[in-house]
Chains A and B, each alone.
Chain A
């Protein structure tokens, strides 16, 4: 059994207004050493396979079709 951890975030160059708001909040709490904040989402999938190669292919397809909107988002997949 593999677990896929998918991180979806806005592409570099696409303004992340939630990240900006969190950055602003951190500033006002005096955490002044933060240069940039990006907010994304994590999707955790429990997979019914032990084949890493196959799992990776599958999850990539899921990302392209639904988990991410590749017009504005990037995704990263980790299998454990």
Chain B
């Protein structure tokens, strides 16, 4: 199992992501954004979190034109599995590989804390190790995590079970930290091979550090 992790100028979660997947037994490779290709043996491509290009213009807006993004789109369109975490989610929406957009948090603050999330749809490789309605404890750390999609887009997400996770309290009741439409924390594309979420499962790998709920999420990719 080979996980390739994209690195843009300003990415800062690539080594955490690498550590997380290696601790689950995967081999990893970090791919610099200037590369025109992604490693051929890639089983999962991760767009890691951080602040690509300093979040200039809009979060993820400039990264989408990096040389490697063409290869990412080709890989995704051929059915390759892609996971965008935090800034990676923003990059994937900007690139049009995932629906919607992320805007400034309603409270205008950068939010950095553990947050509980409710699993909405587990009929995909990312969440298949969890049950619908399960609550996981995963850190969030973002300024632009306020998920927006128009009404037509939202109905489509519902119709195709594309809503992966929503922000909730410990009992699974909706609790919205940033203003996201329907408290959405993560979505996938219609084909269910491109996934994006604002929370950081790669930071929830060890109970002693607050939570190891990320293990079940990332493991889904390794066994599929």
Measured CB to CB, the residues of A under 8 A from B are: 10, 14-15, 17-18, 21, 66-67, 69, 71-72
CA distance A67 to B57 in the complex (A): 7
In the complex the two chains form, what is the Cα distance from A17 to B178 in whole Å? Answer: 10
A28 CB, nearest partner CB in chain B, Å: 15
Find chain B residues with CB under 8 A from A69 CB.
58, 61, 94, 101
Using CB atoms, name the residue of chain B closest to A66. Answer: B61
Q: List 21 A-B contacts (CB under 8 A).
A: A10-B103, A14-B103, A14-B148, A15-B106, A15-B179, A17-B104, A17-B105, A17-B107, A17-B108, A17-B146, A17-B179, A21-B108, A66-B65, A67-B57, A69-B58, A69-B61, A69-B94, A71-B100, A71-B149, A72-B101, A72-B103
Once the chains are docked, how many angstroms separate the CA of A18 from the CA of B109? Answer: 11
A17: B residues at CB distance < 8 A: 104-108, 146, 179
A-B CB proximity, top 5 nearest: A71-B101, A17-B106, A72-B101, A72-B148, A69-B101
- Chain B, interface SS category: loop
The smallest C-beta distance from A68 to any residue of chain B, in angstroms, reads 9
Least CB distance from A21 to B in Å reads 6
**How far is A67 from B108 in the complex, measured between Cα atoms in Å?**
22
Main SS class of interface, A: mixed
CB distance from B79 to the nearest CB of A (A): 25
B residues 79-112 touching A (CB-CB < 8 Å): 93-94, 100-101, 103-108
Nearest-neighbor residue (CB-CB) of B65 within chain A: A66
Q: B57 and A66: CB pair below 8 A?
A: yes
CA distance A15 to B146 in the complex (A): 10
Q: Which residues of A contact B94 (CB under 8 A)?
A: 69
CA gap between A18 and B108 in the complex, in Å: 7
* Cα-based distance from A71 to B106 in the complex (angstroms): 17
Shortest distance from the beta carbon of B149 to any chain A beta carbon, whole Å: 8
User: Considering the complex, which residues of chain B in the window 127-179 have a beta carbon less than 8 Å from any beta carbon of chain A?
Assistant: 146, 148-150, 179
Report the bound CA distance from A56 to B1 in whole Å.
49
Residues of A contacting B107 in the complex (Cβ-Cβ under 8 angstroms): 17
